[in-house]
Structure 1
Amino acid sequence: MKLKQRLIRMSENSPQNFRRVVIGTLIFFGGAGMLMWAEGATHLEPLRQELMALLALIMIGIGASLALLGYLGLSVFRIIKFLDDKDDDALS
């Protein structure tokens, strides 16, 4: 029950969820740009290229997760709240 209340509370804060989507998207595309740069960075040693690519993949993962969390807060959690409110009204 605590998780459900937390998700509902999260869905009520639209500006914060939108901010998560935007920041997550920026981190994601920053990581994607870094990955493309690391692929073509022939002036770097191979080990450094691989470490840059690893850092870029980590950034992509963090950005995608953050954007997904924000998107879910904007859409899916609101649907859950809407359906839950209908169930409460039907019982009354």
Structure 2
Amino acid sequence: MRWRATKRRLIKQADNYQQNLILLISGFGLCMLGILLITIAEFLFGQSLQQELVALLGMALIAIGVLLALAGYISLSILRVFRFLISDEEKSKNKT
């Protein structure tokens, strides 16, 4: 019973191309923003607590961005393959 609900949710997520692409692009954007913040902290601030806090914020943005981009990428690629495999399996069950 639980497997069916999970399978339905994964198929629904795989079919939502626009949301998955938005996840991928926003994750990439957050990564770039995090890299920019780390670069700014390195070159514009002297050795201070402010530099470390800005760099920490940049690292947090990179981590969040990687997770978002990974979720979008998995939804766009692996879940699509999963969806096709499930639909082929269901078609073969219906034929017999």
Task: Flag structure 2 segments of 5+ consecutive residues without an equivalent.
Answer: none
Question: Match for residue 5 of structure 1?
Answer: 8
Q: Which moved more, 1:1-10 or 1:57-66?
A: 1-10
Partners of 2:91 and 2:13 in 1: CA distance: 22
Displacement of 1:42 after TM fit? 3.1
Partners of 1:19 and 1:12 in 2: CA distance: 14
Segments ≥4 residues shifted beyond 4 Å: none
Which TM-score applies when normalising by structure 1? Answer: 0.89
Question: Match for residue 57 of structure 2?
Answer: 55
Picking from 24, 28, 35, the partner of 2:27 is: 24
Percentage of identical aligned residues = 34
Task: Flag structure 1 segments of 5+ consecutive residues without an equivalent.
Answer: none
Q: What CA RMSD, in Å, does the superposition of the two structures yield over aligned residues?
A: 1.3
Which TM-score applies when normalising by structure 2? Answer: 0.86
Partners of 2:86 and 2:30 in 1: CA distance: 34
Partners of 2:84 and 2:45 in 1: CA distance: 54
Partners of 2:65 and 2:39 in 1: CA distance: 16
Picking from 63, 66, 70, the partner of 1:68 is: 70
